[in-house]
Each structure stands twice: as structure tokens, then as C-alpha cells.
């Protein structure tokens, strides 16, 4: 075994330690309230602050308040897909059983959030730009992301044999991740109607702290909320999988216990 194979095996062992359904359900039950309640508190605080206590923009007026829901959903659309791509990698390289179930559950939530991002962007664009939609690089690349989510949802359920669906969707999940840097840098690479990023990792934010605080609260709150919803769906999915396994085993035992038909009773 060479060094690369050894590293892959050791990393796989680390991930598979958390693949046991019973252990995951126990951990998930403990983690759920720590995601759900802070998500609720932070989201409500951020929304109330953003709607009623943050200042209107000197240029955009009150419509800037759409930012407090649009920016978190835009962040979650991309980071949700990043989560999907990580699950795809875990599934393809290490055949992690929970990664496939997580990918199934992230898809619809990510698609719904991306749809909200596009819709709130349109609702912000109409009063500011005078149009609901333009085919600029940022908007178009986010629309492509929405279609990638829809494609993943369709593909993962398209096969009678679930493993084939998981594999095909994982390949799409990984390949589609190329859209994420395009979304991020679209406002720099191309001349877009969409404004450049106001918050960057390296530079100081270009907005007032009175707007930055509620935006930070809603972004953190929505992110925890996304995690809480995906975790709840994943816990339900693991339980449903366990139910199917128990019922299948029970049916197998029943059919094994039934006496085989004798040749006397068989028609000639």
C-alpha cells in the first residue's frame, strides 16, 4: 500500500467512525436543539433589526432591507451546494453511506433556498434596476446553480437501484461545483448589473456597521436553520431506512417460516 492509498484509507476510517446509524441518531438528537433554537433567535433578531431599526440606504431607500434576506439565501445557495459536493466526494471516494442520504436531503432544501434567492433578487431588482431579470453573469450563474440542484434531485431518484442513482448524482454534484467560483467571481470577471461584493475576506466591508450587524445575524441564523432542517431530514431518512430494513428482515423471516408447498397439492 503506497502513501496515497494509506492516507485515503486512514481518512476513510475517520469518516466511517461517524457512519454508524445508531451513533449518528444519538449525536443528531443531541445536536438538533443547539442548531434549531439559536437559528430561531438569531433569525428573528436579525429580521426585526433589519426591518425596523437599521437605517434606509441613501441611494436605495427602504428597498435595501431586502438585503437582510437576499444575501443570506445567496450565501446558503452556494454553501449548500458546496455541502452537496463534499457529500459527493465522500460518496465516490469513501462510499460513505450517510453521505448519500445527506446528498438526498440537501438537494431539495438547497433548491428551495436558491429559488428564494432568485425571487428576492428579482424583487430587489425591479425597484432598483427597473427590471425583474437581466441575463448578467451573476444572475445567470445562480440560475444555473438552481438547475444543478434540480438535476441532482431528479438524477438521485431516477434509478430503480438506489446505488446507481447515488453514484450518478455524486458525479453531477462534483462536476457542478465548477459553478461556485463562477458565481463568486462573476461580478469581477464580467461587467454586471449586479453590484460587486460588499463583504470580502481580505478587505474592510463597504457598508455601515448599522447594516452589517443585522445582516450578520440573519446570515448566521439562516445558516444554522439550514443545518437544523437538513439534520432533521437526515435523521428522519436514517430512521426510515432502518424501518425498511426491519420490515424487509421481518418479511424474510415470515416467508422462511412458511412451509414449502408439497408436490401432492400441485396441479398435474
CB 102, CB 230: distance < 8 Å: yes
Segment 167-226, which members bind other proteins (CB under 8 A)? 222, 225
Q: What angle do CA 78, 237, 231 make, to 5 degrees?
A: 45
Give the residue with the Cβ less far from other proteins, 102 or 177.
102
Q: Which of 134, 154, 175, 236 binds other proteins (CB under 8 A)?
A: 236
Under the criterion CB under 8 A, does residue 162 sit at the interface with other proteins? no
Under the criterion CB under 8 A, does residue 152 sit at the interface with other proteins? no
Give the residue with the Cβ less far from other proteins, 47 or 142.
47
Name every residue whose Cβ is closer than 8 Å to that of residue 11 and which is 6 or more positions away in sequence: 94
Under the criterion CB under 8 A, does residue 113 sit at the interface with other proteins? yes
What is the Cβ-side half-sphere exposure of residue 81, based on CA atoms within 13 angstroms? 32
The CA distance from 143 to 163, in Å, is 28
Quote the cell numbers at residue 171: 458525479
Q: How far is the CB of 138 from other proteins (least distance, A)?
A: 18
CB 186, CB 137: distance < 8 Å: yes
Under the criterion CB under 8 A, does residue 79 sit at the interface with other proteins? no
Window contacting other proteins (CB under 8 A); options: 141-149, 166-174, 202-210, 232-240: 232-240
User: b/e per residue, 201-217, with b = 16+ CB within 10 A?
Assistant: eeeeeeeeeebebbbbb
Under the criterion CB under 8 A, does residue 14 sit at the interface with other proteins? no
Q: How far is the CB of 225 from other proteins (least distance, A)?
A: 7
Quote the cell numbers at residue 32: 438538533
Q: What angle do CA 233, 231, 116 make, to 5 degrees?
A: 75
Q: Which of 8, 63, 192, 198 binds other proteins (CB under 8 A)?
A: 63
Q: How far is the CB of 262 from other proteins (least distance, A)?
A: 30
Q: Which of 41, 82, 119, 178 binds other proteins (CB under 8 A)?
A: 119
Under the criterion CB under 8 A, does residue 235 sit at the interface with other proteins? yes
Q: How far is the CB of 139 from other proteins (least distance, A)?
A: 16
Name every residue whose Cβ is closer than 8 Å to that of residue 120 and which is 6 or more positions away in sequence: 66, 69, 70, 73
Q: Across-strand partners of 57? A: 61
Under the criterion CB under 8 A, does residue 41 sit at the interface with other proteins? no
- State the residues that interact with other proteins by CB under 8 A: 43, 47, 51, 61-63, 65-66, 69-70, 73, 109, 112-113, 115-116, 119-120, 123-124, 126-127, 222, 225, 228-229, 232-233, 235-237, 239-240, 242-243, 246-247
Amino acid at each position: 500500500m503506497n502513501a496515497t492509498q494509506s492516507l485515503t484509507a486512514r481518512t476513510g476510517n475517520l469518516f466511517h467512525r461517524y457512519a454508524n446509524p445508531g451513533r449518528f441518531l444519538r449525536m443528531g438528537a443531541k445536536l438538533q436543539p443547539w442548531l434549531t433554537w439559536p437559528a430561531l433567535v438569531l433569525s428573528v433578531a436579525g429580521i426585526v433589526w433589519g426591518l425596523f431599526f437599521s437605517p434606509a440606504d441613501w441611494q436605495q431607500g427602504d428597498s435595501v432591507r431586502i438585503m437582510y434576506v437576499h444575501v443570506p439565501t445567496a450565501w446558503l445557495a452556494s454553501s449548500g451546494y458546496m455541502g452537496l459536493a463534499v457529500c459527493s466526494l465522500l460518496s465516490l471516494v469513501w462510499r460513505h453511506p450517510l453521505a448519500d442520504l445527506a446528498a438526498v436531503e440537501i438537494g431539495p432544501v438547497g433548491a428551495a433556498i436558491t429559488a428564494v434567492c432568485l425571487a428576492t433578487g428579482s424583487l430587489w431588482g425591479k425597484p432598483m434596476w427597473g427590471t425583474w431579470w437581466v441575463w448578467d453573469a451573476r444572475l445567470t450563474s445562480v440560475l444555473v446553480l438552481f438547475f444543478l440542484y434540480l438535476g441532482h434531485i431528479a438524477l438521485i431518484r431516477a434509478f430503480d437501484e438506489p446505488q446507481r442513482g447515488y453514484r450518478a448524482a455524486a458525479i453531477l454534484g462534483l462536476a457542478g461545483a465548477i459553478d461556485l467560483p463562477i458565481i463568486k467571481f462573476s461580478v469581477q470577471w464580467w461587467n454586471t448589473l449586479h453590484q460587486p461584493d460588499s463583504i470580502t475576506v481580505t478587505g474592510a466591508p463597504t457598508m455601515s456597521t448599522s447594516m452589517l450587524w443585522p445582516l450578520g445575524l440573519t446570515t448566521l441564523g439562516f445558516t444554522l436553520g439550514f443545518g437544523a432542517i437538513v439534520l432533521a431530514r437526515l435523521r428522519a431518512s436514517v430512521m426510515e431506512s432502518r424501518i425498511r430494513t426491519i420490515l424487509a428482515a421481518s418479511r424474510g423471516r415470515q416467508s422462511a417460516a412458511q412451509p414449502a408447498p408439497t408436490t401432492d397439492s400441485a396441479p398435474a
